[in-house]
Amino acid sequence: MLFFLCRLKALVSTGGRSVQTACDWLFSHVNDPFLDDPLPREYVLYLRPSGPLQNQLHHFWQQSRVTCGKNKAHNIFPHITLCQFFMCADDKVDVLLETLQATVCQWRGRFPSPLPLELYTSSNFIGLFVEEQIAEVLKQFAADFASEAARKADVFVEPHRKQLHVTLAYHFPTNHLSSLENLAKGIEVKLGCDWLAVLFSRDIRFANHETLRVMYPYVPQNEDELELVPGDCVFMSTMEQNNTTEGWVYGTSQATGLSGLLPENYVSRADECDTWVFHGSHSFFSCSAYSDKGSKERGILDGLLDSHRLDNTSLVDMPSLSLICHPMQVLRISSSHSRLQRRSLFVCRHGERMDVVFGKHWLSLCSDSKGRYVRTNLNMPTSLPLWSGGHRDYDMDAPITVFGSTQAQLVGDALLETNTVIDFVYCSPSLRCVQTAQNILKGLQQEGKLKIRVEPGLFEWTKWVSGNSLPAWIPPTDLAAAHFSVDTTYRPLIPINKLSVSESYETYMTRSYQVTKDILTDCKNIGSNILIVAHASSLEACTRQLQGHSPQNSKDFIQVVRKIPYLAFCSCEERGDTGEWQLVDPPILPITHGPNHTFNWRETLLQE
């Protein structure tokens, strides 16, 4: 009986495309702890356009992304919502699909054609609204479907009671309103259109999770980590991130159902509907339909993924990069000209971390029986500062890798090449930040000449620190003894004892803003350009309020931080004598890199 239920769940979870697809799903979820969970899926009924109008909407989708970037509307393809999400038991799905098909057939010839749509815009929303009288007709169709679903499939469906509309854009920056509105006015709403009733489902457990797309493969180094396969989707709840460290997130794989920690720079944000399952599509104007028995390719032909084709285009289908990328002219900051007129604040994230590359228990991989550090990979440093059998808590304060040092030195080389002058260097007390700052100075050929001021006030949001205490950072005097170019006479603006564990988001943003202002004040009359080396969050926290903007809410802040890679570099410039600051193009090019797996020649090549 249990096997039958699992097999039924596999069929429903794959949209009933084929027995083989369901078997593949079942085998990949063999270790899924919720495989035999009877919790049903959640379904929704949408009205989707097809034909010329759909092409117009697809064009708007493309242009709005290119012109203004992605907004909330891009999470789900263009549609009119006909009902709220509802649950249906796996053994009732076939009956539900038959009910939808029968209801659509009864409405052929009664469906309004053309469907009158009117453009509506506000400060944060743009959409096409169905004329009220016609909307009542569509709501009656939804009511008929709900009534039949309750009678035949014992399913409760609540028809959508709000105004019916196609959302074009929402939750976008105010300065994008004019561009988006002009693009929307170009949509010819009176073009011919075949409207389709389309049924989708989603896993109810992840309804309020963020959807991430795996970009690079990752092989777990520890038992609590998640294996990553490119193309898979990962569900992440912001509520589960409290006990993760910087650089790691906790998520569940759509492909396997397994959960664990994963490096955040191996994934990117995906659209919510990328993980939805397509079950059936029925036209109001013809007898053609794509049902749950059809193939995925037929669903795509219906336009299911039209709005996402740009994101999923294979690199091999793109034109040569040499044809679309032109040489960039690097901005050079002259020490003899611009220094006297305005000063710059540079904020840089640290380099690649040992605990992200080799797992959070990386120390166990490079310790001998006596607890001494032993290098076991070329990307591990040859030695660790002040290592003496584990008397420092490197688990709480991981160093950077060899490649992290190389990344940092490349940034310093680029600053030197562009004649960028750095007068003062401040950094977070985290070892990874001190090492990054040291290597940037090395590339700048300023190692030993410029002293690094270690400022505890630049540490990341303490809510992200695991455990009940802050890391035991290496004191500046010990760093100097280990040949780091630190200023041992510097008195911190915010001492370590003023930092609290699990501080609020508001406290963190206030702290970052205050310490940045104090740094700028202290250096106002004795230097022009200041470099801060800290964390991913610092690029936002140290510059946003400096420009006169209010902090974002914590959820949006986290989304910004997740997009900031190692050695990300931003530049803020003071405008005249007004004290106003503004983000400008950095003087150096960005640095991009990809992951590289551990290679074991015995396992790969020594095969009989």
Residues with catalytic roles: 349-350, 535
Q: Sort 256 into a burial class: Cβ within 10 Å, 0-12 / 13-18 / 19+.
A: middle
Task: For the beta carbon of residue 474, count every other beta carbon within 10 angstroms.
Answer: 22
- How many Å apart are CA 173 and CA 179, to the nearest integer? 11
Name the binding residues.
432
E strands, 440-529, in order? 452-454
Q: Which tokens is 15 given? A: 């949209």
Residues 6+ apart with CB under 8 A from 553: none
Question: What is the SS3 assignment for 2?
Answer: helix
- How many Å apart are CA 139 and CA 55, to the nearest integer? 25
- How many Å apart are CA 20 and CA 18, to the nearest integer? 5
Name the binding residues for substrate.
432
Question: What is the SS3 assignment for 235?
Answer: strand
Task: Tell me the residue length of the chain.
Answer: 608
Question: Is cis: bond before 114, omega within 30 of 0?
Answer: yes
Q: What distances in angstroms separate CA 39 from CA 58, 150, 549, one per listed residue?
A: 35, 19, 45
- Are 342 and 396 in contact by the 8 Å Cβ rule? The answer is no
> Residue 487's closest CA among 452, 533, 531?
452
Q: Which tokens is 412 given? A: 């310093």
- How many Å apart are CA 240 and CA 464, to the nearest integer? 11
Q: Which tokens is 194 given? A: 């075949």
> Residue 41's closest CA among 153, 203, 149?
203
Q: Which residues pair with 196 in a beta bridge?
A: 48, 283
Strands laid side by side in the 117-121 sheet: 117-121, 125-130, 165-170
Residues 6+ apart with CB under 8 A from 143: 159
Q: What distances in angstroms separate CA 573 from CA 515, 520, 531, 563, one per listed residue?
A: 17, 12, 12, 22
Q: Which tokens is 28 given? A: 């990949």
Q: Output helix, strand, coil percentages for the chain, rounded to the nearest 5.
A: 35, 20, 45
Q: Which tokens is 576 given? A: 């005249």
- How many Å apart are CA 562 and CA 554, to the nearest integer? 12
What Rg, from alpha-carbon coordinates, does the chain have? 28
